[in-house]
Amino acid sequence: MIDSHTHLDLCDEPDSALVEEASAAGVSRLLTIGTDEASSSAALRAAGTFESVFAAVGRHPNYATGFDDAATAALRTLAQDARCVAVGETGLDFYRDYAPADDQRRAFAAQIELARELDLPLVIHTRAAEEETLARLAEAADVPVVMHCFSMPERLDECIERAYAISFAGNVTYRNATDLQAAAARVPVGLILVETDAPYLTPAPFRGERNRPALVAHTLAFVAQLRGETPTELGTHVEENGRRVFRWT
């Protein structure tokens, strides 16, 4: 299995301990995600240290304040590293309102173009901005898209039609997440991914603890049951999907 979205730099444990525990749990690949220049650099360092770790570099919408051409240039330099397999996470977040909307839009547009320029997939964060996020992505039909921590089950059919990779985090295991669970059961086998978003969104029954990559096994097992698959079967599918989307070896 894989963890298609994690933040090693934000977890309490050293990277080495997190990677070792994940490997022991059967996790063959981790994608650790940048949210700004510093965390993107940390992601690349981890990817350069551990064979199973790859990096995505980007500017999260919550950290988009002041985004300009210099920020784009810095991300371009980072994204040209051989261990970078995606741009992001990027998108729009009008729920927290941590960054001005126009700065978010500027950062999002720049990262769409960067992903196109470098022929990399785009990892999307969206919250309270689904309509605009999908509208902007519709203008980038040539860019592969990963919907991180899928949160728009009411737009599932549209995402499937666009062939977006759809990734489910630990919140799909929560008792009240019936709409997400129904979506996870319906995603075509060739589009589904699982993730931790560690150290956030810890899956049941570990809520109350900080999340870590090894716990993706519990999310995968839960989603497999929803889909009438074994964890081994779903694990094989998500490994194949990760290899196709991120083109890692």
What DSSP line would sit under the chain, residue for residue? Answer: -EEEEE-GGGSSS-HHHHHHHHHHTT--EEEEE-SSHHHHHHHHHHHHH-TTEEEEE---GGG-TT--HHHHHHHHHHHTSTTEEEEEEEEEETTT--S-HHHHHHHHHHHHHHHHHHT--EEEEEES-HHHHHHHHHTTTTS-EEETT---GGGHHHHHHTT-EEEE-GGGGSTT-HHHHHHHHHS-TTTEEE---TTSSPPTT-BTBPP-GGGHHHHHHHHHHHHT--HHHHHHHHHHHHHHHH---
Per-residue pLDDT at 193 exceeds 90: yes
> Over the stretch 130-162, which tens digit does the pLDDT of each residue have?
999 999 999 999 999 999 999 999 999 999 999
Going by pLDDT thresholds of 50, 70 and 90, the confidence category of residue 200 is very high
> Token pair for residue 178?
């019936």
pLDDT at residue number 69: 97
Beta-carbon neighbour count of residue 119 at 10 Å? Answer: 10
CB 134 within 8 A of CB 150: no
> Over the stretch 14-50, which tens digit does the pLDDT of each residue have?
999 999 999 999 999 999 999 999 999 999 999 999 9
Q: What is the largest CA-CA distance in the chain?
A: 48
CB 5 within 8 A of CB 166: no
Residue-range domains of the chain with CATH: 2-246 (3.20.20.140)
> Over the stretch 47-82, which tens digit does the pLDDT of each residue have?
999 999 999 999 999 999 999 999 999 999 999 999
> Over the stretch 79-93, which tens digit does the pLDDT of each residue have?
999 999 999 999 999
pLDDT at residue number 177: 98
Work out the average pLDDT over 96-112: 96
pLDDT at residue number 249: 84
pLDDT at residue number 97: 82
- pTM for this predicted structure: 0.97
> Over the stretch 156-184, which tens digit does the pLDDT of each residue have?
999 999 999 999 999 999 999 999 999 99
